Structure 1
Amino acid sequence: MANKKEIEKLEDLIKGTIDGELVEQQVSSLLPPGENYGSVMYKVDFKVKTSSGEIKEYHAVAKCTPLNQVTQEMFNTQVTFKSEIAWYTTVIPTLKSFAKEQGLRRELDFFQQFYGARISLDPESDKVDLDGVILTENLKYLGYGNVDRHVGFEATSTISILKDLATFHAIPLAIKIKNPELFAKKLVPYCPDIGNGFTKMKPHFDQKLIKSLKEIPELTDFMPQIARNIEESSPFGVREIREPWAGIMHLDFWCNNIMATSEETPKVMILDLQVPKQGSVAADLIFFLLTSVKFDVIKDRLDEFVELYYEEFIENLRQLKVDTSDFKLDGLLEEITEEVKKAEFRHSLSHSYQMLMNKGVAHIDTSDAKFKQENFDAKPQGLNERQIEKLRWISLEVLKRNWIL
């Protein structure tokens, strides 16, 4: 299990971002199984002594490599861990610089502060090993919090999140249109293919998901159609690049990768930049809405939230001096249909299945060094009431809207 007592050579990790001599650190496990899937997370509190003799305290989160081979292969850790580091060192600075140059009126304040990263303790190594770490600010000390994944976001938080997601999408798309060379050089290399890890596991996930959906009586008549879509679609496979909506998608934009404050107008942080890739901005939008908004809110306001996102997206493009004549609401709705059919129906079902499990239960434990494929296959089935309600609603909503054939 996750049991780091310290971050080795922490003083080297923070050099260049924090001035002072490291004098103390305390490390503890941050998240239990079921709250995070692609890494092992630690809470890191440390103190430095400045040149003037002042002791300053910092609160951080360390994202470390998974401890077992199953998870490392599934998330293609050798590639995605490096690309996530590059998001903090290259992509985010590029987005901020471009937005400022083009006159975007808002600040990109939805990325957490970066303290440092490494892939190994060996400076000559090009392999990610168990000493790989990405260190960022602990946002809870700034008033940010995670929503209960069994509940989802209320309307006020959802509105703030959608506005920030629209900005997150608009800037890379504007770079692609106005400076394709910059897009190709500074963004595309850090949106890599996740590889064959998920493809290898997909039949196992599909089998569990289809078996679970068969437990819901209201879906019985639709199961051939639903099962066919699940087996034929793949959220982490190759995405079609359809213009003009092709930009950079987060690809894992669900409630545990988003933190918000409890203010009247919540502030938002977008986390976990592990698997971004090129593709339609509609994918993140519909995946978030289907999985991560409180059920009593989303079942009546899905269309409203799509339009809110669209209006904010268009306003961002206008501020970035992009011609918006090709970006119509009808076009976004068509994109949603395509993305749901080709990936996001299955993505939303499988993710809801995982996130609504009883807390403390997970099919895959990244912090268990001894976890093997047979452990996943042996996990019990059985749906709880939360899962039944959500899986039923997603399926019937998608069918009602003719989003899958």
Structure 2
Amino acid sequence: MSEHLEAYYGLPEEVKFCKRCVISNQRPSSVVEFKNRGTEKKPTIEFDDQGICSACTFADMKETVIDWKAREAELIELCNRHRSKDGGYDCIVPGSGGKDSAFTAHILKYKYGMNPLTVTWAPHKYTEIGWHNFQNWIHSGLDNILYTPNGKLHRLLTRLAFENLVHPFQPFIIGQRLIGPRFSGLYRIPLVFYGENQAEYGNNIKENDRPTMAPSFYETTRDLDSLFLGGVSARDLISQYQVDPRDLNPYLPIDGSVLREVGTEVHYLGYYLKWDPQECYYYASEHTGFQVNVERTEGSYSKYSSIDDRIDPLHYYTTFIKFGIGRATYDAAQEVRNQKITREEAVALVKRYDAEFPSKYFHEILEYMGITEERFWEVIDQARSPHLWEQVNGEWRLRHHVY
């Protein structure tokens, strides 16, 4: 009888890898959670009877099932309904000036005749190339509001998210998800465009059947006892960490009555236009001056994806620790689905880069979070799920590999 090994985070105990790409069934659905769900079982990417993941299944549907001409006609009709007649802003595009938001905002303005207001939730710490691309994005002919949250609070939430959830990116993800609907309410602009739905990469495939984001992603109760940030209730942030309640507002769900009055609709451009991250890069490079990094990203072979925030590499390292899925796996899996590389090439890239430690900005991010290197490794090692990790001769090793 095989040894029973505990699986943290509600993950499946049996590890399986997609037969088509390189993702495993340990990939969790990425959702913004305002409540503390503890160890409650969370949905992960689904596999069919042939061992193919839902993201690969949807990639096939994009090629064979979806009528993209009809979808584009829907987009044109949507834009026609909302297009400004007096020169005002008629849609909001959240983004950082990375390849995806650069593509989204630019094509809406210069191909479909919209007048977008771009809004940016600032990264924790800009990289040089990230700031450069952000400036190029604006200077390609777009208006922008850069929203930078309270630095003292953001550092605290980042540290708490790392120590309690091993998820230092959570405060950024919450802000990024909320900023579009929030500015819709503030400026009374009903139409919001994000790029692709995360169902492209493994969330519930049925989410791709609708063009809009479910309001539950950005609207919910603002009760301070049931809202959690960084694994701590909003009430405790106020009482135990001396957080001013007013400073929490950018991270709190939006009052749905305001958005319903405005008529806010949050759409995914990837529902209407066939989404391909590499093609977005080519478009952004040509039209907005987007530039790749001069060196590959730590933990992967890529030079153009998620390169604007110095904490990005650490975020992907934590997914490697928690789920056995590093940055190279994410990058290679989507490039297999988009027929840029073969599965054999993807396996080799995962083997070479997935476990690489992000050392370049490591000490800078430790200082940002206000923790020691000793505390960092304590959190990391406690986060290793027994069903994924084992110690061999005093060193940690994954039990399962796609290769």
Q: TM-score, normalised by structure 1?
A: 0.26
Q: TM-score, normalised by structure 2?
A: 0.26
